[in-house]
Amino acid sequence: MTGRVRVERLDHVTVNVTDVDRAKAFYGGTLGLVEVPRPGSFTFGGAWYRLGPGPVLLHLVRQDVADLKASRHFAVWTTDVREAGRVVAADGGSVRWDRTKIPGVDRF
């Protein structure tokens, strides 16, 4: 092997959505993520959000049909996961506390 790629950080996560407005209400409204501009050259619907104070982005990409072939997710760390669960539930989101336990970590 001649070398290795040196990964510096996570750049972005892409989530495919069928309803951009509903997704924006959740990510921008419920979670309070800050929307940032997307390149004007994009010809498909979507939105970009900053994940936390660093440079990592969330890309919402509009798709015509939901792809439910596999379980996909990304996780964010919050200062109070129980309060985050209450906020998501109060906004009508489904909150199911994780069935696969990680010692010392509460997840939904």
Task: Record the pTM.
Answer: 0.78
For position 107, what pLDDT does the model report?
A: 86
Radius of gyration of the chain (CA): 16
pLDDT tens digit string along 27-55? 999 999 999 999 889 899 999 999 988 88
pLDDT surpassing 80 at residue 101: no
Q: What is the C-alpha to C-alpha distance for residues 45 and 101, in angstroms, rounded to an integer?
A: 36
Confidence of residue 5 (pLDDT cuts 50, 70, 90): low
Q: What distances in angstroms separate CA 65 from CA 13, 16, 57, 61, 103, one per listed residue?
A: 19, 9, 23, 12, 37
Q: If we measure between CA atoms, which residue out of 40, 2, 33, 1 comes closest to residue 15? A: 33
For position 3, what pLDDT does the model report?
A: 67
pLDDT mean over 54-68: 89
pLDDT surpassing 60 at residue 56: yes
pLDDT surpassing 70 at residue 71: no
DSSP bridge partners of 59: 14, 48
